[in-house]
Amino acid sequence: MLEPSIDKLLEKVDSKYSLVILEAKRAHELHEGERATQKEYKSVKNTLRALEEIANGTVTIHPAPEAKRHTLVERRELEHLEALMAEKKIKDQIAQEEKEEEEKQKGNRAKKTSVEVEVEIEVESEVESETEEEE
C-alpha cells in the first residue's frame, strides 16, 4: 500500500498528473543532491521521499514555473562562475608560488656567480703571485 495515501496526496495537488510531475521533479532534485526538506524519512528511495514531502506540504507546485526555471538557470550560472573564480584563484596562487620559486633560484644563481667570480679572482691572484715569484 502506498504511504502516504493517494487521497492525502491529492489534497495537496490539483490532479494526479500534477502529482506525478511534481513527485518526479522532486525525486530528480533529491537525486542530484538538493537539500531535503525533512530531517527523517520513512522511505529510502527518492521517489517515496518526494511523496512524503508533498504529503507534509513542504514541497508544492511553483506558482510561476517560468520564474522557477529562470531562478534555477541563474543559480546554475552562479555556481559555474563561483567554480571558475575558485579555479582562477588556485591558478593565480600556483603562478605566484612559481614566480617566487623562480626568483629564489635566480638569487641562488647570483650567489653562485659571485662566489665563482671571487674564486676566479683568488686563483688569478695566486697565479700572478706565483709567476712574479718565478721571475
18-22, 29-33, 38-42, 110-114: lowest mean pLDDT where? 110-114
Nearest partner of 76 among 109, 122, 32, judged by Cα: 32
pTM of the entire predicted model: 0.47
Cell of residue 38, nine digits: 525533512
Domain ranges of the chain: 1-61, 64-135
Which CATH superfamily groups domain 1-61? RNA polymerase subunit, RPB6/omega (3.90.940.10)
Q: How far apart are CA 61 and CA 17, in angstroms?
A: 12
CA torsion angle 127 128 134 135 (round to 10): 160
pLDDT level of residue 119 (50, 70, 90 thresholds):
low
Give the per-residue pLDDT at 89.
95
4-13, 16-25, 122-131: lowest mean pLDDT where? 122-131
Cβ-contact 26, 68 below 8 angstroms: no
Residue 45 DSSP class: S
75-84, 92-101, 121-130: lowest mean pLDDT where? 121-130
Q: How far apart are CA 20 and CA 14, in angstroms?
A: 11
